[in-house]
Structure 1
Amino acid sequence: MPTTYTVQRGDTLSKIARRVYGDAALASKLAEYNGLLSPDWIRVNQVLTLPSLRILTGKKPDTTAAFPAPNGLTEILKVYGDIYRYLGADGRPTVKWETDHFGFAALPFSIPLSWDLSRKVTKIYCHKKLAGLFEQVFGAIRSGGLAKHIRTFGGCYAFRRKRGGTALSTHSWGIAVDLNPETNALGSKGDMHSSIVEVFTEFGFIWGGEWAGSNKDPMHFQYCSGY
């Protein structure tokens, strides 16, 4: 959701636009967004609404994906690979599962690891078919001035079962990411910023925060549905 700013003595919309968005020329857009007749008509203690850069400019990224998000386990296995054929005697995937299906997506900004804040992620180890899409999503987040809303990275690839279940998690295919897990626990409403949700869903991702009851998972974004 947009933030607010209280006008201080000496402020102009141009100064505010430069400070917040890095472009003084956006003063007229900011005036229009706040219903002001002129960029010059602001007063001390006036409260302005500051939307994300992407919303303010009305610029939306090219969200054309290479393929639609698969629906259901059958399509997941067909599109991302039959992980069950790669399981070894210990019930875990062999090294070949990763060498055949995984790669890296470069991030345009670093994100602290949720379990070790002293370390920062600069790339995501994910299914190679989604590497480009993840780069597009996080690129749109950065260009929209939204990176500040991603505080920590909770992971992408992890071979495991769904929490509280027996079916494999979508993390086992490297097709999901968890963000800000410390305040977006499973079963909670969470506090995921609506603009982050908007970007991911525009690119075709499913947000776990829309799931019902104890399955609600507001930290989670996955590129598949029906599973």
Structure 2
Amino acid sequence: MTKPVWPLQSQCKAFYGDPTSVIRGAPAPNAEWERMHLVKVFIPWSAHASWDKDLRIRTLRVHSKCAASLERVLNAIWEAVGRDQNEIDRIGMSSVGGGHNWRLMRGGNALSTHSYGCAVDFDPERNGLGDNSPAMDKRVIKAFTDEGWVWGGQWKRPDGMHFQAARVD
């Protein structure tokens, strides 16, 4: 199988559609776009995945155009760790930072790739935005980059928890 070629960040609107509505003159999430384009991807280690210690999750909501790719990534990670929940916990993959979330980029006025449903975050506790030494496991990075996803841990302002199905302009 060939590696998917994702759009540039500046092309996300053309590729993924416009997730924005205007309500009372202000930008807001577009519920119709969400219904038409977002799907849930099962997390193989979901019995232990969580947003925080008390809230378990089983799926991530992402755009349908990158869902099959994300499913392959998550399954590749699960296989790479030998389907070992303790190893998933040790490398931080049971800590889920998020998928689709309509919002602006931090410190900017453009939509975040999370708004398009083409970005996910894992292990935010050890991989915070701006942390110059992200602790993301190499097997995780490889699984994502093998599918053409971009890892934020190598950016000028590192975002080690972040992976996106959009190339950087």
**Residue 99 in structure 1 maps to residue 57 in structure 2:** no
Q: Which one has the bigger helix percentage?
A: 1
TM-score, structure 2 normalization: 0.86
**Residue 185 in structure 1 maps to residue 137 in structure 2:** no
**Map of 1:224 onto structure 2:** 166
CA distance in 1, matches of 2:134, 2:109: 24
Match of 2:7 among 42, 56, 70: 70
Structure 1 gaps, min length 5: 1-61
CA distance in 1, matches of 2:148, 2:106: 23
**Map of 1:200 onto structure 2:** 144
CA distance in 2, matches of 1:117, 1:132: 28
CA distance in 2, matches of 1:221, 1:87: 28
TM-score, structure 1 normalization: 0.65
Task: Return closer, same or farther for 1:87/1:100 CA change in 2, 3 Å cut-off.
Answer: farther
Runs of 4+ in 1 over 6 A off after TM superposition: none
Give secondary structure in 2 for the equivalent of 1:103. Answer: strand
CA distance in 2, matches of 1:226, 1:141: 24
Match of 1:172 among 115, 120, 132: 115
Task: Return closer, same or farther for 1:134/1:208 CA change in 2, 3 Å cut-off.
Answer: same
Tell me which amino acid in the other structure corresponds to 1:71: L
Give secondary structure in 1 for the equivalent of 2:163. Answer: strand
Matches within 5 A, 1:34-49: none
Q: 1:72·1:225 contact (CA, 8 Å) conserved in 2?
A: yes
Give secondary structure in 2 for the equivalent of 1:177. Answer: strand
- The CA deviation string for residues 175-211 of structure 1, in whole angstroms up to 9 with x for no partner, is 0011000111111022111121111111100000010
Structure 2 gaps, min length 5: 82-86
Give secondary structure in 1 for the equivalent of 2:73. Answer: helix
Matches within 5 A, 1:110-189: 110=46, 111-114=48-51, 116-145=52-81, 147-148=88-89, 149=91, 150-188=93-131, 189=133
CA displacement at 1:97 relative to structure 2:
1.7
Q: 1:156·1:177 contact (CA, 8 Å) conserved in 2?
A: yes
Give secondary structure in 2 for the equivalent of 1:135. Answer: helix
Aligned residue pairs total 159
CA displacement at 1:80 relative to structure 2:
0.4
**Map of 2:84 onto structure 1:** none
Greater C-alpha radius of gyration: 1
CA RMSD of aligned residues (A): 1.7
